[in-house]
Amino acid sequence: MMALLLKSYQSLLRGSAVPRRSMAAARETAGSSKKSLDLFYDVVSPYSWFGFEVVCRYRQIWNIDLHFRPVFLAGIMKATGNQPPATLPKKAEYLNMDILRVAKYYQVPVQLVSDFFGTVIQKGSLPAMRFITAVDASQPQYVEPISRELWMRIWSRDEDIVKPESILAAAEKAGLPLEDARKILEMSNSPEIKNRLKETTDQALKYGAFGLPSFVFHVNGKPQLIFGSDRLELLGSLLGEKWHGPVPTASKL
């Protein structure tokens, strides 16, 4: 099943799911003004990956001006007193099933990590999120593909995302020249980048975030927060748009 899911996912990334003509038609019905949407995420979170991929698929259909906002999930959890749901035995048991069901539904090639506590809780994602933040500051066009490659490493292939060589491997696979990646990796340890990641995390907290993914849009100048990858249909409705399922195809538009 994983091989079929991966093949379907790769097909979606090549843009075969929604032809250009269909997306153009969707934009005409939705109006010409773009709607700004901030996506706060951390690659340590598989549910962030689900939300990330779906809003990327809907970016043109819903005429969204999508802003990727890398944050540090552990910082949000600590600041809000939240606890990882998988630290509770019954929730962990449920999540092991839920993650795979949601992965199939959204057609994102997620597999369970072999050592959740060691990978997600102990290692975490701080070096990876600092690197993405540095990419956002210097070459933002690579934020999307590098984020995706880091998710592929941790949540599809059960590979490391915090060692320098792991981060460089993800960046190279995403198309960032190795020399540039090394410079950005060095930059990611600077006070400026550390502060930038903290500031973005603090901004998510000010909006009311307590977990990820968190989506923020504005209505009449006021920020509106939507939490979770299971609220995407509601997000579309609040944006005045139609939901066409997790994989919007031409037949649904």
What's the pLDDT at 64? 96
Q: Active-site residue numbers?
A: 45
Helix and strand totals (H; E) in the chain = 12, 4
**Looking at residues 172-185, what average pLDDT do you find?**
98
- pLDDT confidence of residue 24: 52
Band (pLDDT 50/70/90 cuts) for residue 20 is very low
CA-to-CA dists, residue 170 to 46, 130, 163, 175, angstroms: 17, 14, 11, 9
What is the model's pTM?
Answer: 0.91
Give domain 2-13+34-243's CATH number out of 3.40.640.10, 3.10.350.10, 1.10.3720.10, 3.40.30.10.
3.40.30.10
How big is the CA angle at 164 (ends 160 and 167), to the nearest 5 degrees?
60
Q: If you average pLDDT over each of 2-11, 164-173, 217-226, which comes out highest?
A: 164-173
Q: For residue 213, is the peptide bond before it cis, meaning its omega torsion is within 30 degrees of 0?
A: yes
Q: Domain locations in the chain?
A: 2-13+34-243
Percentage of residues in the chain having pLDDT higher than 70: 91
Across 157-186, average pLDDT: 98
Residue 250, pLDDT above cutoff 70: no
pLDDT tops 60 at residue 22: no
For 78-97, write each residue's pLDDT tens digit: 999 999 988 899 999 999 99
pLDDT confidence of residue 32: 58
Closest CA to 45 of 238, 245, 205, 228: 228
